[in-house]
Amino acid sequence: MDLDSRYELLELIGKGSFAKVYRARDKELGREVAIKQIHEQYLDDPKQLERFWQEAQLLASLSHPNIVTIYDLHRERGWVIMELMQASLGQRFGNRQMPIASVRTTLAHGLRAMKYLHSCGIVHGDIKPSNLMIDSPRRIKIGDFGLARRVSDDDGS
């Protein structure tokens, strides 16, 4: 099954300086997914493509209930297919005050994920409300690993 017949792009749900994210339908598996697509101007830029693929490979190497799951990637399209989240904390709460129960959940889940990342020798490098994703009312996941990096013992990290 080729990409055009497998995935149906449903709506644009996010856009940044490097990529856009679509809500899409995986017709083969019958589920909704998120497709992160690198902007076209970067498809011919080896340095930017390498950064994009390194982010995907790093994310694919992780397995934790509070980290967004990657399902697949398609280099020719500049696509990374991932688990679809409901919203980011930034989208959900904006400038409004979060309920204390949400603050507790966010801190607990975020800290568990960061502890796991650090045990794997990885620093996320960009923890902020727009990168803390809401999976369900009671689960937060860290996403967007574009600035993440592996650290070595001599980095002092």
| pLDDT for 5 | 86
Q: What are the distances in angstroms from CA 130 to CA 16, 31, 36, 73, 92?
A: 11, 24, 15, 22, 9
* pLDDT (tens digit per residue) in 94-144: 889 999 999 999 999 999 999 999 999 999 999 999 999 998 878 999 999
pTM: 0.87
Write out the catalytic residue numbers: 126
Retrieve residue 119's tokens: 């045990």
Query: CATH number for the domain including 92?
Result: 1.10.510.10
Is 86 or 152 the better-scoring residue by pLDDT? 86
Beta strands in 66-146 (DSSP E): 70-74, 79-83, 87-88, 122-123, 132-136, 139-142
* pLDDT (tens digit per residue) in 2-58: 567 899 999 999 998 889 999 999 999 999 999 999 999 998 999 988 888 998 999
How many structural domains compose the chain?
1
* pLDDT (tens digit per residue) in 59-79: 999 999 999 999 999 988 899
Domain boundaries, position 147: 3-155
